[in-house]
Amino acid sequence: MRAGVGYSDDPDTAAAGRQAALEALRQAGRSDPCDLVLLFSTARHDAQILRDAVVSVVGPVPVLGGGAVGTITNDRFGYAGDQIGMACFWLDGVRCEPVIEGGLLRDEEEVGRRLGKRLAGMGTTPESSIILFYDAIDRTGGGVRMIMATWLLAGMEQSLGFLPDLTGAGMQGDYICTPARQWLGEEIGEHHALALVFSGDIRIDNVIMHGCRPTTRYYTVTKAEGQTILEINGKPALQFVDALLDSAIPPENYPFFLIFGVNRGEKWGEFDENNYASRLCLAIDRERSGIVMFEPDMVEGTEFQIMSRSLEPGYMGPRIENLFDRLEGREPVFALYINCAGRAAGYGGIDLEDALVVQKTVGDRIPILGLYTGVEIAPIGGRPRGLDWTGVFCLFSVPK
């Protein structure tokens, strides 16, 4: 397999599509038609115009992808503007089969079951190489509802009897959750789940980077409803956290700031971030004194800790480099970086722009395509889960 990536932040959608496509072809150094395109864009661009522009350069190939708050390539990145990023793939004997199911607005779990049934029919195993993308935003009710990775994955597991070691993302087009459309091969749509199933000699290794550490003892959710934590240690959730933080941070600042960590490993063992699922606050419910989370899996009985953000320049590079070192003689050919939009320095109020660390670490060894997302999916404690405040670096490799 070979890939080339392209980037543009031109507000003219057609020009942006052509620019990114030409850049991807130049980087790959291939003149023959590619086999498929991965395309991600902020909500500012018209999906049909952008697809048409890309296809006018690369030819009539399947285009897959959707919304992103921003994008990253080897030497450029940006977010909250007119950014698009894309990758052209020449499979060269490797297979990539898209499996697409719609209906996420009606029932995420049922979509997962249908997806899992189709994956089972393809002979999927726990070792299968799969990337899962889904439309994370529902604005049809007037407000904003996050479509749940937890239920989508639960449905897949019901049909398969297991979950592959997959990674993926919940896609959104900007920070204010403007609806963004999806590219589904030959079609354009919304509210779909899209699994890319790679077979043949492709292997996808991954490393998770939260940049968070626990700073408290364990506390217990004692009442919850859906995504909303209503009680912690028997007390109203908002009041409990406010007292715990000594009112240093007002509750209205909890959204996109307050992070809980759920340890899926040994409770009293040494800290291992590979076992921690970060859970980010989405909103507060003052009427019920509740804390609304991005995912609905902090149910009654869930033990958690409050996490502090600790991204530092020296943290990420060695973890990515270690992934290259573990290839065991295989050849790296492409990297996909799935990055929580909240980790962008301009939004999260942190000093580290982690896209720069990824670019510096990888250099020009392989093409990189990164996207800023609403939800990240990666294995925690041996099982894929929806995550928050996480960077997931996925390294594609083939035998030499």
At residue 245, the pLDDT reads: 92
Q: What is the pLDDT of residues 373-383, one digit of tens each?
A: 999 999 998 89
Q: Which band of pLDDT confidence, cut at 50, 70 and 90, is reported for residue 58?
A: very high
To the nearest whole number, what is the mean pLDDT of the chain? 94
Q: Where in the chain are the domains?
A: 2-209+313-398, 212-309
Picking from 86, 92, 97, the residue whose alpha carbon sits closest to that of residue 58 is 86
pLDDT band at 213 (very low <50, low <70, confident <90, very high): confident
Least confident of 43-47, 180-184, 379-383: 379-383
User: pLDDT band at 326, cuts 50/70/90?
Assistant: very high
Q: Which class would CATH give 212-309?
A: mainly beta
pTM: 0.94
DSSP 46: -
**Tens-digit pLDDT profile for residues 59-118:** 999 999 999 999 999 999 999 999 999 999 999 989 999 999 999 999 999 999 999 999
**Residue 121 scores a pLDDT above 80:** yes
Beta-strand pair 129-135/167-171: parallel
Using the predicted structure, report yes or no on whether residue 369 has a pLDDT greater than 90: yes
Provide the pLDDT confidence category of residue 272 given band limits of 50, 70 and 90: confident
Average pLDDT, integer, range 347-352? 74
pLDDT tens per residue, range 125-171: 999 999 999 999 999 988 889 999 999 999 999 999 999 999 999 99
Residue 115's pLDDT is what?
98
User: Order of strands across the sheet with 192-199?
Assistant: 95-102, 192-199, 129-135, 167-171, 375-380, 383-387
Task: Give which of 175, 168, 194, 177 is closest to 338, Cα–Cα.
Answer: 168
* Cβ proximity of 322 and 274 under 8 Å: no
CB 330 within 8 A of CB 203: yes
Read off the pLDDT band of 308 (50, 70, 90): confident
Give which of 347, 240, 375 is closest to 304, Cα–Cα: 240
Q: Under a CB-based contact definition with an 8 Å cutoff, are residues 22 and 48 in contact?
A: no
- Position 313 pLDDT exceeds 70: no
Return the pLDDT at 273: 82
